[in-house]
Structures are given as structure tokens and as C-alpha cells.
Structure 1
Amino acid sequence: MHGQLLLLGVPGTELTAADAELYQAIQPGGFVIFGRNVASPEQLRKLTDDLREVVHETPIIAIDQEGGRVTRTRDIGAEPPSAQELREKGDLGAIARHGMITADLLRLLGINMDFAPVLDISYDDEADNALRGRCYGSDAQEVITNAGIFNRNLRHRKVLSSGKHFPSCGLADADPHHDLPHVHKSVTEMLKSDLLPYTALMPELDALMTCHAHFTAIDPDSPGLPGSMSHNLITRLLRDQLGYKGVVMTDDLDMGAILNTYGRGPDVKRAIAAGNDMAMICHQPETAHVAVEHLKELPNGTVDDALKRIAKLKKRLKDPFKFSMKLWDQLDAETMQLRIDVLGEEGAREIRDYSGVKRSPVEDY
């Protein structure tokens, strides 16, 4: 039962006997796919098929497939344009195509949820806070328009979405993969800016992902408390004040912003107690047994409420397409054409190098 509150990563490109034993014992609510799990379309589809077989309840099988540098399928197919490239092109039809192609490709690979769209506002496109190239707008309305189109087309093709990173990482002063960012902005200020994409799109999102940033005005009495563990932020602001009724999940708890401070077990317990329904353990799934034991310490009502929201979301999960390389090749060609239409022939053929001073682990995960 408590395993349903966890989203676990997978170590490699195939399900080993040790992996299967762990997942059968934990019975997690879902899995998260990363670049390390991707070797070929056929291999990835077999992996997701195996993951569905190893648990009793239909699992969420999720991925960060945003386009640009956050494209987990980059090594086996064309890289879609990024959110920033799409917004700079100014072609809403291209954003719609991106949503539909992404959904079809994911369903072919056996994936039923995309951790997208990013709803953060880009206040500085060059900021070293892990968001470079990933934002749909430099103001709230631009994000609402562009991210909303992507989200509606993704969901129209029956892949679930998860808006991120609530309530805002646009003003983060660090990369949470390494350190805990601090954001100095009041709720009143955020209601006029950063929170607008969430309040506008909330009815159309299947889930929300909370961020690992400390909001000094929301938790003034808890210095350094990440938003992903904040009762004030998740329960009081998101659920009580903004009225959100859907599934809330943490960002990866294996990030430096959490690992540097909290131990495995207490981190998961605090995250669910704060109001999240699911906690993400992406890179140390072998610690899931410890996490479950700590989750058992939570009040029954807290666990039951989370399980009800998760069960409601899972009713919307759709079966994958029948796999065929012909369909893969077609979708890959459509992705490349979208890339050409947005970036031009020369830009589309360019091989991007995402290394450099503003490098973030988000590219390789």
C-alpha cells in the first residue's frame, strides 16, 4: 500500500532479477525513465512492458520529455526543439505539433506520463538555475499560452501531464541538482506573476510537481526548508488557498538540494506529510525499503487521501500503442521536420553541445 506513494527510477536498460525483486516487494505507484534507460526503441519498449508486468496495479511510467536539452530519447532519435526555441519561433501550431508528436512517441515506447510542461517564468534566459532553454515564456501570459497549447495537445493524444516546478523556480539563485535555491518573493507578488500559469492551467493538468527551493516569505520560521517539504506551500497555499485537488508529486529527492541535508526515509515522510501524494526516488531506488518503513509512520488519513488521489489519476492512464519500428521511424521523421520548421535546415542539423559553465545534471539524467 505505502509503495503506491513512491515513483522509483530504474538502474539500467533492462529489468534485472534484483530490480524485479525490489519492485515486487515495494509495489511502487510508478517508475521514472531517464537517458540511462534508453538504448533503442525496441529495448525501451521491452523495459516499460516489463515494468508494467512486475507490479499488481497499473503503474505510472513517466519521463522528462520536454524537448531541447531535456530529451531523454536524444540518443535514439531526433531532438525536438526546446520550449524557448518554440516560443521564440512564435508559431503556436508548432507547439501543438510538438505536444501531439511527443504523446504519440511516448505511447509507442510504453510511457504514459510526461513531466511537462514547465510552467516557470524565465526572468533570465542565461540564469544558472537548471531552467536554461526550458521555459515557455518570459512573462505569465506567454507561459499560459504556450505551455497550455503543449499541454492540451499532449493530453488530447492520451499522455498525462505534470506541470512543474510549483510554485516557481524562475527566480531560483542556484541549481537544485547541486544546492538548495532561495527565492525571496511573497505570495502576494507570486499571485500576480509566477502562480498565474498554475491558477490558469490547473484544471487542465493531471498532476503538479513541487520544487526544491526555499521560499523565505512562505516559511520564514523554517530557514532552508525546501518547498517540496513545506506544509505552508503545498497544503495551505496549493490545496487550501488555490483549491488544487489533483495529484502532487515531489521533484527527485535524490537531488543535491535534498541529499545534502535530509536522510532517506525522513525526506520521504516529510514530503508526504507536507501534502505531496507521491515522492520521487530516481537514482537510489535500492533505498525504497527504508522509505516505505518511514511512510508507515504517517497517519492513516494522510496516506488514504494520497492513495485516493493517485487511484483517481490512474483511471486516466491509457494503454500503449502496439509497437512497430515503422511507426517509430514515422514519428522520428515528424520530430525532425518540426525541428527544421522551427530552427531552419542548418540549425536543425546542428549537433548541440550542452556542456559548459552552465551545465546541469538535468541534461544527462
Structure 2
Amino acid sequence: MTRFWIAVTLSCLSAWGHAADALHLYNWNNYIAPQTIKRFEEYCKCKVIQDFYAGMDEMQAKLTARGPVYDVLVPSDFVLPELIRKGYLQALDRKQVRHFANFSPTYLGRPFDPSNRYSVPYSYTTTVIGYNETKLAELGIQVDSWAVVFEPQKLEPLKGKVSVLDDSREVFSAALHYLGYPANSDDERHWREAQRLIQRAKPYWAGFDSYNYANRLANGKVWLALGYSNDFFLADQQTGQEGARIRAILPKEGASWAMDSMVILKDAPRPDLAYKFINFMLDGRNSAELTNLVGAGNPNRAALPYIAPELQRNVVIFPDKSASGKLEAMMPLDARTRRLMATLWAEVVSR
């Protein structure tokens, strides 16, 4: 997710993980409002030191390399089983976590952590298409399908103006949906067909980008992107005062949906602050800022009274029954399919 606000990341501290009264948060880029961080610091009388990732591949690589020690991590649900298996997470003391009753059963007891032993829902996003409404209208291009990302005939007038996430799982998921296959397919033929589709489209793209694509969309350097729903919300906030609008659309073929959760690392230096942060974010007013200021979908029922009505009506942020039918939650892939995806993706990015 793309960085719009400047955040101070003190990753060069020699005493990382040992700073007194400091919570170390490893989160998606731009997935919490600075105002929320400031109020938590005032509440807990501590400092929040943030580090950011743009995707699950990057996050897992850093944990595997045993880099800086964090207290709280906000991973997507489909990687939870791997984090649990590798022993990165500590089981939650449910007596220290309040407000579980705020969540609809829809967001609890999911296959990734059936008893919520390790995870607490944070928010959710959809992976969709964002575009510059004015530019696409001038070109007479209708945006309702993944075809504008993958078909050369559609891409020709957009050449060099299309950005795609630098994330193997997300790009393959979009390609699989466009081809009519499940994003969680374990059929090698589906993955190879998706690779051919991606390779055919790649020459028309500006490149793979998970950090700056929404900023570039907001300033007109790209006109269309495959990315996250909340990033497109933030891009539109940047351009809104100047008259340009960034729109987001759920493609008719379907798209992926992912819920992110708060977890506590097994070697967290300040688990006491981690629990304070989790409880703070479960408060309805604080949780509502994830939607009002960041544009993320919200699983917290206590937040709904404080969320702007127009955002609750936005089906990209809060999918209604019809939109939900087009969304597929990404599941953990089996080891063979993960290796296949990694191989196919390496071939894509190297050519």
C-alpha cells in the first residue's frame, strides 16, 4: 500500500527492540492515519516506531532474515498459517483483548486461524482497478473489466501509463480471475495460461510498483493501476481539490479480497504495549479512522456509527451482496503451487 504521509521510521536505532516505552509496529504502507498514531502515543505515554512493507512477500522475507524485532504485525490472513507454522507469533491472552464482541461472525473463526488464537481483525481491502476518470473518458475507454490491464488492444492507447502491483500473488490472482479461473487454483495449466497473459501485457505497462503507484496516479504520471482499494481512496483525496478524480472499480470478472489482522510477534519486546495498541484500535471511534481517513474496509461493528455514510455506500470499500459475490478471499497455496508461482513470476520480471 502506498505511502502518502511522511512517517518517521527509526530503523537505524542500534537498540531496536529495546527502546523504553516504544511500540514497534510493522504494517502495510499507509495503513493507519498519523492522527491515530498521535492519539495512541498520548494514550499510552509511549512512542510508536513504524516500519512498512508493500506486500506479503516483502514482509515474510524480512521476518525470515530476522531483521528488527517488532511488537505488532498486520499481515493478510492467507499468510497467517505460515507465520504460525514458523513460530513467529505468540498465542493471544484473550483476557487482555477487549471488544471481540464488536466483530460480526463473518470476520471471526476464519480458516486461517479458526479460534482466533493468534489474530484480531484489523481491516480489509479489495484488489481492484483505479483510474483517472478524465483521462480514460477522453480516450473513450470503458473501465469495467480486467481487459484494460491485460489486453493489448485496450492497452495500446494507455501504453506506459498503466501500473501494476509488484506482488506475484495479486497480479496472478487478477489474471486468473480475468481468465475465469479461481485465484486459489492448484491447476498448473491455469497458472501457465495466466503467465502468458501477463507476459503479453507487460510491454504496455509502466512497470511493477507497490509503493508509489497511487501517488503517481494522483499526479497524472499513470492513468490506470491494478492496486488496493484504500490506495485509490487516498489518491482521490490528493486530487479532489484540483478537480481530477480517481475512481476505483470492481471488475466484472471478479477480484481478490483480503482481511488483515493484528498479531503479536513471539519475541515482541513490549507485549504490554502490543495489547494496549490492539485494544485501542478495537475502540469504535479509533477503528472508524481506518475507513474515514485511510479508506480501508472495516469489520468492526462498533465503528459503523462513526464512519461517513458515503463511504459505507462505496461498494469497493464496503462490498454489498452483489459485489461480495464477485470477490474471492485468497487462501494459502499448497507448497507445489507456491513454488510454481515463484518460478513463473521470476520469469515474468526477468524478461
TM-score, normalising length: structure 2: 0.32
Structure possessing the higher relative contact order (Cα contacts under 8 Å, 6 or more residues apart): 2
TM-score, normalising length: structure 1: 0.31
